[in-house]
Amino acid sequence: MPKPLTIEAPRKVGPVSVEDELLRGAQWPVTEVPPAQVSFPKMMRVSGQPVVTLWVMLDSYEEVKKIKLSRLYNLVYKTFLCTPTPYPLALWITAFYNHMYHQENGPRWMPCYLDLKTKQGMDMVRLLAAKGEYQLLLFAKELPQKCAYVTTIQINQGLQSNLQEWVVNSATWRTLGDPREGKKMSRQLAEG
């Protein structure tokens, strides 16, 4: 009697994707950043290579699921705005809009700042300019210990050029105030 045919699920051969590795390993830093609706940048290493990530905590897993399941219909907006004075900062904005879910409340905005006077901030700007992408890690407030979704966000060449220009020019920028003033000015620039 012949054996029944069994089909095995395909096994992934070769290196694990950046998204898969981040999804498996990323845990919200609860002691440093209490679970709340916030976003912050973080440099990570994946397979020994530096990767720029944007960590975002959303209100619920349901919201993460909507973004994940409707990714073909999501409009992703991303930009970087720079204020060289009074304090050199880059406002990094990522937003998702899906007409099926965001009509009532508008887009989901995920802003954060890169300090252009610190090594960490400059390293991120350099890497964003060089690679032209970053990883967006979404977490749900009710389940912060596990990353719920990771996606790669591409940066267009115009934004990459701006980032490269800031890397070169930031060495000559003088600090005339503190970061709070730079953040305030960046917000006004973004709103205005």
Amino acid at 115: D
**Residues contacting residue 35 through CB under 8 Å, at least 6 positions apart:** 28, 57, 139, 141, 144
DSSP designation for 92: E
2 lies in some domain: no
4 lies in some domain: no
Most confident of 21-35, 58-72, 89-103, 148-162: 148-162
Number of domains within the chain: 1
Provide mean pLDDT across the span 173-188. 70
Q: What are the tokens at 76?
A: 């992703």
Indicate if the pLDDT at residue 112 is higher than 80.
yes
Give residue-wise pLDDT tens across range 4-53: 433 343 334 445 577 787 777 788 988 888 888 899 999 998 888 899 99
165 lies in some domain: yes
106 lies in some domain: yes
The confidence score (pLDDT) of residue 190 equals: 66
| Least confident range of 14-18, 111-115, 176-180 | 14-18
Query: How far, in Å, CA of 93 to CA of 184, rounded?
Result: 15
Amino acid at 6: T
Dihedral sign for Cα 116, 119, 21, 128, please: positive
Nearest Cα neighbor of 17 from 153, 150, 156, 154 is 150
Q: How many CB atoms lie within 10 A of CB 119?
A: 8
Mean pLDDT of the chain: 82
Domain hosting residue 65, numbered range: 27-191
1 lies in some domain: no
Does this model's pTM top 0.85? My answer is no
7 lies in some domain: no
b/e for 79-108, b at 16 or more Cβ within 10 A?
Answer: ebbbbbebbbbbbbbbbbbbeebbeeeeeb
pLDDT band at residue 74 using 50, 70 and 90 as cut-offs? confident
Give residue for tokens 């050199």. 88
20 lies in some domain: no
44 lies in some domain: yes
**Residues contacting residue 3 through CB under 8 Å, at least 6 positions apart:** none
pLDDT band at residue 75 using 50, 70 and 90 as cut-offs? confident
| Least confident range of 8-12, 65-69, 111-115, 133-137 | 8-12
Q: Residue 171, exposed/middle/buried by CB under 10 A (0-12, 13-18, 19+)?
A: exposed
